[in-house]
Amino acid sequence: MVNHEKIRNKLKTIQISLEKLHQLKAKSEDVFISDFTNTDTARHNLQIAIQAMLDISSHIISRLRLEFPKSNVDAFSILSEHSIVSKDKLPEYQEMARFRNRLVHMYDDVDNRVIYEVLQKHLGDYESFIKDIVQYLETKRNCDK
């Protein structure tokens, strides 16, 4: 059985990271890039938010005994195939998993301007994931009654 409390805690982690990222988004590109505390904070919170998304995905896949993902990217595909997350947003979720891998394993190759671009253009993707998972939990709760 899916542990709703565990998932809600992970969603809260994503929301906390998003609040910080939205503050950084408001800065001009020059101000953002000129201060390592901005870039480091953004990198860390992007990584944390994506990791929480992957943790949620892994938990749901495991508890529902769905097919085992071959990669982080594959985890989002499995959720999409089972209508747990939006098929329309799947490419964005998959790109987030790839981006997380770059942040973790190729951190010295990720330009701070790319980090700034993610802040400007892609924070809504995290919010879409939260919405998808909340909707899944509500549907699951209604079905369990």
CA distance 104 to 120: 21
State the pTM of this model.
0.92
Burial of 119 (0-12, 13-18, 19+ CB in 10 A): buried
φ/ψ bin of 86: left (φ > 0), alpha (ψ from -120 to 50), beta (otherwise)? beta
Percent of the chain with pLDDT over 70: 97
SS (H, E, C) 71-92: CHHHHHHHHHHCCCCCCCCHHH
Q: What are the residue boundaries of the structural domains of the chain, listed by start? A: 4-144
Query: What CATH fold (topology level) applies to the domain 4-144?
Result: Four Helix Bundle (Hemerythrin (Met), subunit A) (1.20.120)
Check: CB of residue 72 under 8 Å from CB of residue 55. Answer: no
- Stated as kind and residue range, the H or E segment containing 17 is helix 4-25
pLDDT digits (tens, 9 = 90+) for 24-41: 999 999 999 999 999 999
DSSP 68: P
Q: What is the pLDDT of residue 104?
A: 87
Q: What is the pLDDT of residue 144?
A: 54
